[in-house]
Amino acid sequence: MAHRKWVLREADKNRANDLSEKFNIDPFIAFLLVARGIDSDIAFSEFVSESVKLVSPFDFTDMEKAVQTVKNAIRNNEKICIFGDYDCDGVTSTAIMLSFLKKEGAKVFHYIPNREGEGYGLNFNAIDEIKSKNASLIITVDNGISAIEEAQYIYSLGMKLLVTDHHQVGSELPRAEAVINPHRTENNLDFRDYCGAGVAFKLICAVSDEDAGKLVDEYIDLVAIGTIGDVVPLTNENRVFVREGLKKINFNPRSAVKAFKAVNSSDKVYTANDIAFQLCPKINAVGRMSHANTALEFLLSENYNECCEYFNKLISENSNRQAEEKAILSDIAKKIEQDESLVNKRVIVISGEGYHHGVVGIVASHIVEKYAKPTIIIGIDENNVARGSARSVEGFNIFEAIGACSEDIIQFGGHPLAAGVTLEKEKIELFTKHINEYAFSNFEIMPPLKLTVDCKLSPFYLSIDFVDNLKILEPYGASNPQAVFAIERMKLINVSPMSEGKHIKLELEKKGRIIKVVKFSSPYDEFPFFRGDYLDLALKITDNYFNSRRYLSVQALDIRLSGSDDERYFAEKNKYELFLQTGKADKSLYPSRDVCAGIYRFLSKNNGYKFGFDNLYFRINSIASYAQMMFAIKAFDETEIISIEGEKITLNKVQKKVNLEETAVLKSLGRVK
């Protein structure tokens, strides 16, 4: 994992104390909430409240028109098609609307496009098929706001359109009986960050003649799953959706949820994180790898055994997705090994023949985590059409960056941190050049990958009671993540492998307090720290159950040597990478004889180094800058006194004296005397 910049939240302690007293909340919890910007009486009260307050659906512009359109279609016995999407939000949105309209007596069917063959949103072939089934009205869920031409085509065929969507509104609205979208400026809404399932739920609340409480009882679990799966902010009404949805998931589950829990754990109380990591990926996987109809049937079936069969299919498709992901990552690793310049650029762009379009976005996220850079992974199909998914770091708007290269691409769309792009195979090299020129021109220093820390903590705070106090922050999700705490200068006492060395367990001590910490996806033989090291740890703290016993669970998100200087590291590494891109050097980049000697002594003492260049830097930065270290290592490699495989350094037996100053790499610096 790449080195991250730790960003410590700040809070007004006096304001936190005031709110703690006013609402009878633990002072530490009040401090955490104020640090997250929840510092007004109203916001604080709403956050800690357990009441179910729902915004009127008629605060959405066009809702009266939408209700009339749906009721007229039902009354006139018209055929309605629900047009959905293949991701978790789209599937849950479709399930909500389809189930509700059937119970209202509507003649209704659904259409979810195939991700590979059709892509996202309304398309002309799908509209033709819907028309052939004699539909009079199409209701979109989680899509439709940008379907300008498709909407005109729907009306040319004599059908009508009702759009429900949550994506950003463009300069023109599609022709429709009504357009329900929280981002319309005409709405009477204070909160607008709903997902598609949330918007669909608002529509059925408006259409139904029943009390909203009955609709909450019936559908709120599906709204919660869609909200969690689409990673929208878990604040305001979304927080209510997920909190109430989790109650239904835990205490009154539908057959699909029972089948899911039977495979995982029927006894535990499920959190938003459990749904995010154990259920949503499987719903997404079937839409990525085959067709989302299986996920829809899973959610809507009332037969438990049938749900179990459907869920097994979801598990199988998720396994296929993981295998495809692993294969692409392996291929990318080989490409990088053969050409390290792929990851030296400011924006990483890597393409491959046959990379599965449904998986490249997940792969891009992995590469961002490893190299801390905006990444675009592109799959090239048999027709030489290249489709890529981009992921970015906070502070670098990948949507704008791709847009700046519009001459190289066919189409694109997305958000500041995630985007999709389509281009011709022949344009990939030019696109890579141009997007890196954009990054170079607009960012003197590229934004680092960040880890937000809620506050520093003493290890003596860690207890089950502390975990209980933290539960008021749940449910966790976007804009309300699980709290992260930094504990500094912990002495590493012991490291032991878990799960055949895939994970590790650490034992650490400070002032007589010993804690045990788990670090997942950190192979034992790749752990770069040693007994006796003093470490800073970024931690998540929760509870767990084993053999009916509750115990404290402490998970490390990030570990570093105590005293690591983030500002210096990022400045020095940026300077090194600028040289790789521009060839411009100054005196400070050149490793002197003493610097080279110091680095070599460290390597000799440790019989090489196998934990990567970044970790090596933090071991030796008292004697060398990042650039000096890298150029010294390259000079060592050129003279064959070491060998480099990936980022693993092995010492060679030196048969003769070498002159580092005569190496090509040091000459390339144009040493300043």
Question: Token pair of 194, please?
Answer: 């709903």
**pLDDT at position 507 over 90:** yes
The DSSP secondary-structure symbol of 290 reads S
Cross-strand bridge partners of residue 556: 539
pTM (2 d.p.):
0.90
Q: What is the DSSP string of 198-228?
A: HHHHHHHHHH--S-HHHHHHHHHHHHHHHHH
* CA nearest neighbour of 497 among 470, 457, 527: 527
Q: Which residues are CB-contacts of 68 (< 8 A; sequence separation ≥ 6)?
A: none
- For residue 552, the model assigns a pLDDT of 92
Per residue in 604-617, pLDDT tens?
999 999 999 999 99
Q: pLDDT tens, 65-112?
A: 999 999 999 999 999 999 999 999 999 999 999 999 999 999 999 999
DSSP for residue 526: G
Tens-digit pLDDT profile for residues 636-651:
999 999 999 888 999 9
Task: Compare 266 and 633 and report the one with higher pLDDT.
Answer: 633
The amino acid that residue 499 corresponds to is S
Which pLDDT does position 234 carry in this prediction? Answer: 93
Contact 161, 141 (CB under 8 A): no
Name residues whose C-beta falls within 8 Å of residue 414's C-beta, 6 or more positions apart in sequence: 390, 398, 399, 402, 420
User: Please, what is the average pLDDT of the chain?
Assistant: 93
User: Given a cut of 70, is residue 282 above it in pLDDT?
Assistant: yes
Q: What share of the chain is helix, strand, coil (3-state, %, to 5)?
A: 45, 20, 35
Give the pLDDT confidence score for residue 673 in this predicted structure.
40
How is 369-419 classified by DSSP, letter by letter?
HHH-S-EEEEEE-TTSEEEEEEE--TT--HHHHHHTTGGG-SEEEE-SSEE
556 SS3 class = strand
What confidence score (pLDDT) does residue 365 get? 95
Cα atoms found within 13 Å of the Cα of residue 92, Cβ hemisphere only: 28
- Structure-token pair, residue 402: 């791709």
Strands (E), 549-661: 549-561, 642-645, 648-651
d(Cα 450, Cα 127) in Å, to the nearest integer?
44
- Taking alpha carbons only, the member of 464, 466, 440 closest to residue 454 is 466
pLDDT tens across 410-459, in order?
988 878 888 889 999 999 999 999 999 999 999 988 899 999 999 999 99
Average pLDDT score over residue span 370-375: 94
Cβ 660 vs Cβ 629: under 8 Å: no
Per DSSP (E only), the strands in 9-127 are: 79-83, 107-111
pLDDT-derived band at 52, boundaries 50, 70, 90 = confident
What angle do helix axes 304-338 and 360-371 make, rounded to 10 degrees? 50
| Stronger pLDDT, 626 or 666, i.e. the higher one | 626
**pLDDT given for residue 669 in this prediction:** 81
How is residue 168 annotated by DSSP? P
Average pLDDT for residues 351-369, to the nearest whole number?
93
How many whole angstroms separate alpha carbon 285 and alpha carbon 223? Answer: 19
Q: Is pLDDT larger for residue 279 or for residue 585?
A: 279
Q: Which of 123-137, 171-185, 564-578 has the lowest mean pLDDT?
A: 564-578
Q: Residue 50, exposed/middle/buried by CB under 10 A (0-12, 13-18, 19+)?
A: exposed
What are the DSSP E strand ranges found in 436-590? 450-453, 455-456, 485-498, 503-510, 513-519, 534-546, 549-561
Q: What is the DSSP letter of 477?
A: B
Q: What is the pLDDT of residue 412?
A: 85
237: helix, strand or coil? helix
Alpha helices in 418-565 (DSSP H): 428-442, 464-470
Instruction: Tell me which amino acid residue 78 is.
Output: E
Summarised one tens digit per residue, pLDDT across range 289-315 is: 999 999 999 999 999 999 999 999 999
In angstroms, rounded to a whole number, what is the distance separating the alpha carbons of residues 186 and 183? 9
Q: Confidence band (pLDDT; 50, 70, 90) for 670?
A: low
Mean pLDDT of 383-412: 93
Tokens of 276: 């995010």
In whole angstroms, give the CA distance from residue 281 to residue 256. Answer: 15
Distance (Å, rounded) from C-alpha 15 to C-alpha 34? 8
72 vs 70: CA distance, rounded Å: 5
Distance CA 113, CA 94 (A): 12
The whole-number pLDDT of residue 342 equals 92
pLDDT given at position 333: 93
Report percent pLDDT > 90 for the chain. 82
Question: Is the per-residue pLDDT at 672 higher than 50?
Answer: no
Cα–Cα distance between 151 and 170 in angstroms, integer?
Answer: 14
Q: Give the start-end residues of each E strand in 12-147.
A: 79-83, 107-111, 137-141
